[in-house]
Chain A
Amino acid sequence: MRVIKQKPMTVIERLYIFEAIRGLWTTLKHAARGLFRYETLPTISYPEGQPEIRNTYRAKHRLMLRPDGTPRCVACGMCAAACPAHCIFIEATQSDDPRIEKRVMRFDIDHLTCVFCGLCAEACPVDALRMDTKQIIFEHRSREDFVAHLYDLTNWDPKDYPNDEQSQMAPGGTKNAEARKVWGMEVK
C-alpha cells in the first residue's frame, strides 16, 4: 500500500488567521476581476453570451436535402435501429421518383428522449441525418413540441453551412444549380 505523507503545517499555517485571510484575498481578487476586468474571466455569462460550438458537436438533428429539395432519407430505419433511446419514428412509402424506391413519409425525433449520442447520424447509409446544426437550446411550451417532425428537420438554411459542400447542393445553396443539372440528368 502506498501511503502519501502530508507535509506538516508550518507555524504560520497552524495559526489559521493568516491562511483565512489568504483565502479571502483570493475571493476578493476574483470579485474585483469580475467588476473591472470582466473580459478576462474564463466563464461566459450564459444567456447573453453563447458558447462557441463546433460543427462536430452533437447538437439538434437535421435531414439533408437532395438538389430538388426532397429529403435524402430513404427511410431504411437504420437510425431507428441504432438508436439506444428509441426516439426515432419512421414511416416509409413508395417514392414518386422512378429512380428512388423508398421515401420517408414520417420522420419524428423525440428530443426529450434523445440522448444525443450521435449513433443515428453514424448509422445513416446515405448521409441524410446529421447533428451539425449547432443548436443546443431546446425550449418549448409543451412536450409535443419537443418532437421534431420532417418539416422541422428539413427546414434549414444552406447559408448557415457555408463550408459544407453537401449542404450547398440543397435548394438555396451556391452549388444547387450545378447539382440540379446532374440530378435532373436524363437517365436511361
Chain B
Amino acid sequence: MSNYYNMPKLPTENSPKVEIFVDDRAVMVPGDTNLLEALKAVGIETPHVCYHPYLPVSGNCRQCLVEQEGPRGRMLVISCYTPVTPGMKIYTPASSARVKNARKATQEFMLVNHPLDCPICDKAGECTLQENYMEAGQNEGRLRPEYGKNYHGNPEHQFIDAKGQLRGGKHVDIGPRILLDEERCVQCDRCVRFMRSIAKDEQLQLAGRADHTYITTFPGEKLDHEYDLCVTDVCPTGAMTAKYFRFQKRVWLLAHTPTISMDDSLGANIWLDHADGRIYRVMPRCNPEVNRSWLSNTSRLAFQQFDKNRLPAIDASAIQISGGKVALVAGGACTNEDLAALKMLKDALGDRAELFGGSLLKVGAPDGIAKSGDPVANRAGMQLMGFADVAELLKRAGEFSNLITVNADLYGEDAAAAKALDKISNRIALSAFDDATAKKAKVAFGIRHWSEVQGTMVNSLNILQKLSAAPTCPDEKLAPAYEVISTLAGNKFNSACEAFMKAREYVPAFADITYDAIKSTGKLLGGNA
C-alpha cells in the first residue's frame, strides 16, 4: 500500500458539465471530479466508508462499488477513485443486481468481526456502518454462534470474554483526548490520512496486515495534536471516541444549532450540539471555503467554559456615562450587530465618543487548517465599520474619562499593558463572563455569550457569516450586547435583524444583503470593501 494518495477533486459551481449514462439514462454531471461526487451531484448517494471529501482517496473499503461498461464488458469499479469521463456508462444498484450483491458482501465482511456494541457505542445514530447497513446491507447474520466474534488485531489487547469469544482492545488510551476501541475499527485509515495529510504530523499508523491490521501510535508515543479530535469526526465507526463526550449523551437526543466559532478570525463553521439547555459538544460544520470539515481542539473544547463564571443581568439604568470623552471598545467576539449598536451609540454621544476594537493578544500565524491565528474574530467587520485598534486607546488613555468595553477582556489579556486604562475613572464592562476587566470595572453588566446570540461576522477571508442563537443561555434576563448598547443610545433594537439593518446603513459592502441572502456557508463580500 502506497503511503501517498491523491486528494479528491471536488465539483465546484464552475465545473464543466459532461454527459454520462447512469443506468442507461443520460445525465449531466460535473466533469472534473470523481464518480462518487458526480453521482452525488445528481442525487445518487453511494455508500462509502473510507472516502472523505477532504482526505486523500485511499479506496480500501470497496463499499462504493459501481459497474462501468469497459472494453472487456461491465466491470466493478470503486466510484471514489474513478474519474468522470464523458460518455461513460455506469450501473448502480438501481439496475444492477451485481453491484447490489457486491456492496452487500463488502458490508457483510466489514461486519463479521465488528462488535454488536451499538447500544453502548457513542457513534450509534451517526455511524457510517449503521447507515450503510440500512441502505445496502440488511444481511441476516451468517455467523455461527459457536464461533462468535474473533478479534486478531493487536495481540497485546486480546482477551477471552465470558462467552469464550476472542475479543480485544476495548478501551485503548491512545492519547490525552481520545480513546480507541480497536474492535470497532474497520481499518478505513481515515484517521491515519487525516494526521498525515491535514495535520501534517503522522502520529497514527496502521500496523499488521490483512485481518490483523490495527491502528496504533509509535511505541511510547501518544496521539496528541491541536487537531486530534478531528479523528473522532472522520472515524466512520465508534473506534475513535472523544473522552470529553464519552457517554455524555446519546447523539439522537442532541439538537444542532449552526453557528460560527468566535474565537478566531477565520470563523470556523460549527454545530453547537445541545440538549436540556446546555451544550454537550461542538462539531465542525462543513464549509469548503473556510474550515472544510476541521476544527481545532481550542475551538471545540471552548464550550466547556461557556456557562461558567457568568455575569448576572443587572438593570440597564446602572450604566451612567459621565461627562468627558468616552472610549467604546469592542472585543473580538462582537458581532456586526454589536458593532452597529456601538457606532449608533457613538453617533448619539457625538464627538466626545471614539470607537476602538480588537484585543491585546498577539496575532499568530494561520495554520492552514481551521485557524487564522488572529484572536479577534470580527476584525474585518471592525475595519469595515471604522473601528480604531485598541492599541491606539492605550496610548491616549489619559484623554478619556469613560470606558465601555464590550466582550473585551483587556485586563485579562495583558494586565501590564491594560494598566494604562486605570487612568479612566468610569469603567463599564459589558461582558458575558466575570473576567478581569469586569472585576476592575465600576459597573459590570452581564450580556449574552456569542453562542446565545443571533448575528453576523466577517471573517479573515472577507466572508460574511451568520451566527445562530443556541437556547443555552443560563439566564433569560441576559440580553444580547446590541440590545443593551442600543438601549443606551436611545433606539433599542428588538432583534438582531434590526441591528443588521442599521449595520447596512454604515457599511456599503453590506448593502442589499439580508439575513436570508447569507447562505449557511456565508456570503463572500465583493471587492475590497
Contacts and interface: CB of A to CB of B under 8 A. Distances in A.
A125 interface: yes
B159 interface: yes
Question: Interface of chain A, helix or strand or loop or mixed?
Answer: loop
A81 B119 CA distance: 11
Nearest to B276: A89
Contacts of A126: 119
Contacts of B253: 77
Sorted from nearest, which 9 A-B pairs have the closest CB atoms?
Answer: A76-B119, A92-B247, A102-B120, A77-B250, A125-B119, A74-B120, A76-B120, A188-B159, A102-B247
B170 interface: yes
Nearest to B243: A94
B124 to A, nearest CB: 8
A98 B119 CA distance: 18
A74 B252 CA distance: 17
Given A74-B120, A76-B120, A187-B159, A81 B252 contact: yes
Interface in B114-132: 117, 119-120
A87 interface: no
A99 B250 contact: no
A45 B41 CA distance: 72
Given A101-B120, A188-B160, 15 more contacts: A74-B120, A78-B119, A81-B250, A81-B252, A92-B248, A93-B247, A94-B246, A94-B247, A98-B170, A98-B171, A101-B170, A102-B247, A125-B119, A183-B162, A185-B162
A169 interface: no
A88 interface: no
A102 B248 CA distance: 11
Interface in A64-82: 74-78, 81
A157 to B, nearest CB: 26
A3 interface: no
A132 B489 CA distance: 67
Contact of B120 (A75, A98, A99): A75
B161 interface: yes
Interface in A3-27: none
A1 interface: no
B116 to A, nearest CB: 9
Interface string B145-170: 00000000000000111100000001
